[in-house]
Amino acid sequence: MNAIQFRYFKGVMTKEPLKTIIDTWYKLRAERDKKLTNIFNTIPFYESWLGDETSIFGIVCSYDNPARDEAVLTKGYRTEDYKGKCVVKPDRRYKVGKDFDKKLQAIRQILKEAPDFSSYSLKELGMYLLVGNFSRLYFSVSGVQDDIYIAKIPVKEQGNFGDDFLEIHECLTEIKESEFLSIQGL
């Protein structure tokens, strides 16, 4: 089994095309947040969601939230304890649950259409790669620290499968892993 090798890069966020990429991403994120807020405003017990930037599994609220008490008493909602909070999920056997599930499905679709910055920026730069071996799959990741864009890109070598390494955008400079870690404060 071949170990996956990585290449590391950095760039300055105030230089093009990184500046345009992050500005565009912020605009897309604002549009996403507005759509989400419109739906969340229709859910009286909403405080946050259980999931991540691309998925939702339920609505999180505090146990002392008065709207949660009403949800518990209404057929169509299921509640679960998660890290000291209440997670409300739909019970699709009832109309209220089916309606709530439609809202969660709409939220899922919005989240799916609005990628995280790492994925978005790498795709815009043509550097989003997947490389694997027999036991694991690795993908490109990126982030920003103090206006420095950093990226970690897997390299396909003999015995591995996945995307071939492409040309690196001219706005990026290759760096060593130690500098990549240092920029992150590690």
Report pLDDT digits (tens) over 53-91. Answer: 889 999 999 999 999 999 989 999 999 999 999 999 999
Residue at a domain's end among 113, 139, 160: 113
- The verdict on residue 34 lying in a domain is yes
- The verdict on residue 158 lying in a domain is yes
- The verdict on residue 55 lying in a domain is yes
Gap between the Cα atoms of 82 and 104, Å rounded:
18
CB proximity list for 19: less than 8 A, separation 6 or greater: 13
Give me the amino acid identity at 38.
N
- The verdict on residue 1 lying in a domain is no
Q: Are residue 88 and residue 137 in the same domain, yes or no?
A: no
Residue at a domain's end among 60, 82, 113: 113
Q: Are residue 42 and residue 107 in the same domain, yes or no?
A: yes
Q: Are residue 147 and residue 161 in the same domain, yes or no?
A: yes
pLDDT in tens, 13-36: 999 999 999 999 999 999 999 999
User: Does 177 score more than 80 pLDDT?
Assistant: yes
Q: Is the pTM of this model over 0.95?
A: no
Overall size of the chain counted in residues: 186
CB 32 within 8 A of CB 47: no
Q: Are residue 11 and residue 83 in the same domain, yes or no?
A: no
CB 9 within 8 A of CB 175: yes
pLDDT in tens, 115-150: 899 999 999 999 999 898 888 899 999 999 999 999
Segments forming the whole domain that contains residue 160: 6-24+116-184
pLDDT for the residue numbered 150: 98
User: Does 44 score more than 80 pLDDT?
Assistant: yes
Q: Indicate the pLDDT class of residue 164, thresholds 50, 70 and 90.
A: confident
Gap between the Cα atoms of 45 and 13, Å rounded:
39
- Mean residue pLDDT of the chain comes to 93
Q: Are residue 48 and residue 34 in the same domain, yes or no?
A: yes
User: Does 2 score more than 90 pLDDT?
Assistant: no
Q: How many domains does one find in the chain?
A: 2
Give me the amino acid identity at 87.
V
- The verdict on residue 146 lying in a domain is yes
CB 31 within 8 A of CB 95: no
pLDDT for the residue numbered 1: 52
Q: Are residue 56 and residue 101 in the same domain, yes or no?
A: yes
Residue at a domain's end among 113, 145, 170: 113
Is the bond preceding residue 154 a cis peptide, omega within 30 degrees? no
Q: Are residue 87 and residue 130 in the same domain, yes or no?
A: no
CB 67 within 8 A of CB 45: yes
Instruction: Identify the bridge partners of residue 87 per DSSP, sorted by sequence position.
Output: 60, 80
